[in-house]
Amino acid sequence: MNQEQKNEVIELLKSKFSQYSNFYITNTESLTVSQVNDLRRVCFDKQVELKVAKNTLIRKALESLDSEKYSGIYEALHGVTALMFSDSPKEPAVIISSFRKASGPKETKPVLKAAFVGEEVYFGDNQLAALVAIKTKNELIGDVLGLLQSPAKRVIAALLEKGKKEGAVAEAPAAE
């Protein structure tokens, strides 16, 4: 790879890091070609971009954008590295988790090396469960709406229940 090609890759990576506020760094080293193709297909279906790049080029792209902001990521840049870019903070984690389950009960690949979600760095494969549990913006909005509707629903239910009891009491003397 000549210097011009390296610069093109760095520019491409910089545009991806700027475009997405969430990215995951994974190790796909021991996956077969078939498994990598399956992973790419799943990522494509879920609108997650999967890119493989050299660690030094990833590091140069991150450093040229904001070396302090991404400083917690540099430790993860070793071995074979695949980047997963997504608008959703949890979709790559869900993909990794479901991919492992589909591959077998003891499957641990792909390995999560690090994730940059919003402004937070999650380091290590042990963070996968926490990342799967992150709520998306739409899930949070749904929770808030549910909480806002809950008191009104209780008041209406109580009024309806009270109305049924009063109606039953009012009907009882008329039946005698």
Strand partners, 123: 114
More confident residue, 33 or 142: 33
| Domain match, 121 and 155 both | no
| pLDDT band, very low/low/confident/very high, at 96 (cuts 50, 70, 90) | very high
| Domain match, 97 and 159 both | no
Q: What pLDDT, on a 0 to 100 scale, did the predictor assign at position 52? A: 94
| Domain match, 144 and 67 both | no
Answer yes or no: is pLDDT of 107 > 80: no
Q: What percent of the chain has pLDDT over 70?
A: 94
Q: What pLDDT, on a 0 to 100 scale, did the predictor assign at position 173? A: 56
Task: Report the predicted TM-score, pTM, of the whole model to 2 decimal places.
Answer: 0.78
Average pLDDT over residues 24-44: 93
DSSP state of 127: G
| Domain match, 71 and 11 both | yes
| Domain match, 150 and 73 both | no
More confident residue, 84 or 140: 84
Number of domains in the chain: 2
Residues in the chain: 176
| Domain match, 147 and 130 both | no
- Which CATH number is 63's domain given? 3.30.70.1730
The predicted-structure confidence for 136-176, as pLDDT tens digits, reads as follows 778 788 888 887 887 777 778 888 887 777 766 555 555 44
Average pLDDT over residues 120-127: 93
In angstroms, the CA 86 to CA 27 distance is: 17
| Domain match, 23 and 99 both | yes
Ordered DSSP codes for 33-53: HHHHHHHHHHHHHTT-EEEE-
Average pLDDT over residues 18-35: 93
Q: What pLDDT, on a 0 to 100 scale, did the predictor assign at position 74? A: 94
| Domain match, 29 and 106 both | yes
Q: What pLDDT, on a 0 to 100 scale, did the predictor assign at position 144? A: 84
Residue 95 domain boundaries: 3-134
